[in-house]
Structure 1
């Protein structure tokens, strides 16, 4: 399988609340590729839906969800960083972003009290989102990269779009920070299309009971 699309998705900066770039990427991808799919979907997005996208195929009875946002950081005063979601900040981690003065690449520093800062050579405008620097690595049977959570889910939905005849693909927002948009999107799909079943396409941890390379994980809850 060609994972160039997944690599591109992992490079897009889109923290929770700042998903517009990846939304536009998905919309452009659909516009460019839908003519070659088995069915052309109806696109639902825009006013009232924030940066969420729903692709409706045929007569749907199942919705498939993947969140498009990621964890990251917001710049604060005195070089301090505020987490977006729950990233596990480590000293020396490289962050990137942009503010009105130009591109940013900096390292995380952590003081004795556990507060997180950046070491950029100038002040970063307060409120600027920062993300982990892309570092996509593909081996024979393994891919490692920042933001596989959940660009992998987005990738899977875009693969499913090629063959799907009846269903809804939902690209949802702010899952990492604030609870997500799935509740009101699900209510919309229930009211509009009478959809009562859903599949959430996301990633999970490797644990004592979950090992890499043994196939998909189906959650019991």
Structure 2
């Protein structure tokens, strides 16, 4: 099942390169903050399509329409993610305060325990936030559904906590592997060109710089958006397995 989710999402994300470029252009201006909401809003549309779809279905990529609605959806997504992330942060800060009031081995022990508890909470918060976003999408965008802890626990219990964790680990590995492979290929090509140019007396430094620029552009306009859609689709399909 998990492999089917990955396969579907990898194929789905490559359906339209023009969509990837559009996302890349939006992400390029993320320093202005507003585009961040649009990227998050588009990924929410991907999730919404997935939670109402099926694995290996014929779901189309979402359209870039109703920008205002996409911005609002992105804001809701970011609020959900921030609020859930505050839980492990606040807990860790509390352990720091307690540890600072102690000394020696006891303080160190408190920090170790705090770090462990924070890590477990971070994993749980990550899963809860992503399933919360999916639950919100499944319930017609009702914001409060992202925080219905009892309902979310039932969803995750149906899917299986271990299955969720394994799926997330797989997403991290696939994301890192694809990024590394693309970077290696691009740098490998330009390293070969640079070496050949050096042997012929050309400016190898300029070729390497060009390779770096090409790598940044490919990552920004193709690989980054592709992986963004891939992850959003995978999470949505994972949620849909319990419906």
Identify the TM-score tier after normalising by the shorter chain: under 0.3
Q: Which has the higher strand share?
A: 1
Determine which structure has greater relative contact order: mean sequence separation of CA pairs < 8 Å that are 6+ residues apart, divided by chain length. Answer: 2
User: Greater CA radius of gyration, 1 or 2?
Assistant: 2
TM-score (norm 2): 0.22
**TM norm structure 1:** 0.24
Select the structure that is richer in helix.
Answer: 2
